[in-house]
């Protein structure tokens, strides 16, 4: 009698385990589907950015690559790496709202034009505002022009009050702005860009992150590979923006 009862209990356990495994599988499938939908949304928005300004599109790819290179050096986990890549891809999406005459101007911006340009991080957050899945990403993108000394924008956050991913993106962003070649000037060599980052380490940039970035990029550069790949956006991109 006792044995029969044991058998019933173990059968119930097996059924419960199978049901649980099935539920886990369903949750995983749902998560994968949700992720796929999000990635489609990311690619669509990036295509819109590409149609508006091809340079900023390429810049966003490189900033994502430099950001994940630093993220890897910091030992971020796969979930964090995914979020970091996503935030970096999106960091300048708000430039869709900046007038072409300002965005494409090859000369120095007037004060009024600069104010319009400065609105782009907040605009990024605004564009993403209704997409629930992107709320953290919107925050990281919004703060990618905050300075370590608190003199950045839009909120004047300082030090560790600036989200880590925003501090990473700022370094990657500035590095690309210095090293990429534009029609009106040649990009700086890595070594020169590294010393610029060091010079503004502690004022503009997080000093610890600058050290890790230089180490990671030196390692990356020594591989002698001319291209890079990104996880979220499929494709091979040239490191040299010329
Ligand atoms: Fe920006």
CATH number at residue 213: 1.10.3210.10
Å from CA of 2 to ligand 1 middle: 71
Q: According to the model, what pLDDT value does residue 72 have?
A: 97
| CA 174 to ligand 1 centroid distance, Å | 9
pLDDT at residue 242 tops 60: no
Closest CA to 116 of 137, 95, 145, 132: 95
Q: Does the residue 218 lie in any domain?
A: yes
107-162, pLDDT tens digit by residue?
899 999 999 999 999 999 999 998 888 999 999 999 999 999 999 999 999 999 99
pLDDT band (50, 70, 90) for residue 76 = very high
Domain-located, residue 26 = no
Its domain, for residue 73, covers 36-238
| Residue at 68 is within a domain | yes
Tell which residue, 84, 93, 96, has the closest CA to residue 140.
84
- Examine residue 118 and state whether it is found in any structural domain, yes or no: yes
How far is ligand 1, taken at its centre, from the CA of residue 13, in Å?
A: 55
Average pLDDT over every residue of 5-27: 82
Looking up tokens 């999106």 gives 90
- Measured in Å, residue 26 CA sits from the centre of ligand 1 at 39
Q: How far is the CA of 188 from the centre of ligand 1 (A)?
A: 19
What is the pLDDT confidence band of residue 81, given thresholds at 50, 70 and 90? very high
Mean pLDDT (the chain) is: 92
- Is 38 in contact with 44 (CB distance < 8 Å)? no
Q: Measure 201 CA to ligand 1 centroid, in angstroms.
A: 18
Q: Which residue has the higher pLDDT, 190 or 35?
A: 190
What's the total number of domains in the chain? 1
Span 170-180, average pLDDT: 96
Q: How far is the CA of 144 from the centre of ligand 1 (A)?
A: 7
Separation of CA 225 and ligand 1 centre (Å): 26
pLDDT confidence bin for 100, thresholds 50/70/90: very high
Q: Is the pLDDT of residue 35 over 90?
A: no
How much distance in Å is there from the Cα of 229 to the middle of ligand 1?
A: 22
CA of 98 to the centre of ligand 1 (A): 11
- Residue 94 and residue 73 in contact, taking contact as beta carbons nearer than 8 Å: no
Cα-to-centroid distance, 161 and ligand 1 (Å): 19
Q: Ramachandran region of residue 75, left (φ > 0), alpha (ψ -120 to 50) or beta?
A: left
| CA–centroid distance, residue 153 to ligand 1 (Å) | 10
Q: Which pLDDT does position 83 carry in this prediction?
A: 94
- Angstrom distance (rounded) from CA 87 to CA 75: 17
């Amino acid at each position: 009698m006792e044995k029969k009862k044991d058998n019933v209990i173990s059968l119930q356990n097996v059924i419960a385990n199978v049901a649980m495994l099935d539920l886990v599988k369903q949750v995983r499938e749902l998560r994968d589907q949700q992720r796929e939908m999000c990635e489609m949304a990311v690619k669509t928005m990036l295509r819109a950015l590409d149609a508006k300004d091809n340079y900023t599109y390429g810049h966003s790819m490189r900033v994502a690559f430099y950001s994940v290179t630093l993220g890897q050096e910091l030992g971020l986990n796969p979930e964090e790496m995914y979020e970091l890549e996503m935030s970096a891809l999106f960091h300048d999406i708000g430039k869709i709202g900046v007038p072409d005459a300002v965005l494409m101007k090859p000369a120095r911006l007037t004060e009024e034009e600069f104010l319009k340009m400065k609105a782009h991080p907040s605009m990024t957050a605004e564009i993403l505002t209704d997409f629930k899945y992107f709320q953290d990403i919107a925050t990281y993108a919004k703060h990618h022009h905050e300075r370590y000394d608190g003199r950045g924008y839009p909120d004047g956050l300082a030090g560790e009050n600036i989200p880590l991913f925003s501090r990473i993106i700022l370094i990657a962003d500035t590095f690309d702005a210095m090293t990429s070649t534009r029609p009106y000037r040649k990009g700086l060599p890595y070594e020169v860009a590294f010393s610029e980052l060091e010079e503004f380490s502690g004022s503009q940039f997080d000093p610890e992150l600058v050290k890790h970035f230089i180490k990671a990029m030196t390692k990356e550069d020594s591989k002698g590979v001319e291209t890079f790949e990104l996880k979220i956006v499929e494709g091979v991109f040239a490191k040299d923006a010329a």
